[in-house]
Amino acid sequence: MMIRRIVSSLAYAIVLTVAISATTAICGEAEAERMTQPVVEVTEEVTEVAEEPVVVEAIPEPEPYDADYVLRVITAEGGTDQLVCNGVAQCLYNACERDLWAHSVEYIIEEYQYTTPAEWVSDEARIAWDAVFCSGVTFVDFGDALYFYAPAYCESEWHESLQFVAEVSGVRFFEEVGG
């Protein structure tokens, strides 16, 4: 089970970039790579067990997916804009969670009509994907956003009929009304 951490996407991007740069400069690339791996902390030990079993509906584990494909899609949508990449990764993760991981990430990309994957992967997409999909970060500035579009490239009455969440670098993010 992954514990979600809630942070501002800008704060996370700044802290992660500074931490990786400083670690790389001081300790070298191998140590920087080791230090950026997710860490699991146990903060409380279970000392009591309920007498009657509690039935909890299990959420299925995510299906394995092609991380390179997902990274290239995030790159195609967000380019080298860290905040937009954060929002795209968060929307994709939110859609997977909304579906209780019943479908693959690739299925969600197709179903939600994400753009064609880029031929390359930006560092910003990699940072956003790692934060959301690997490290359990939730970027609060994007709330429960599932959808986004860039009004500079198209008009969308459908998107605008949804609940507006945030606008970053000309990209507007939305969640379902009442969501």
Distances (CA, A) of 139 to 47, 53, 132: 33, 34, 8
- Model-level pTM greater than 0.75? no
Instruction: Identify the residue whose tokens are 């606008």.
Output: 167
Mean pLDDT computed over every residue of the chain:
81
Pick 107 or 18 by higher pLDDT: 107
- 101-135 residue pLDDT tens: 889 999 999 999 999 999 999 999 999 999 999 99
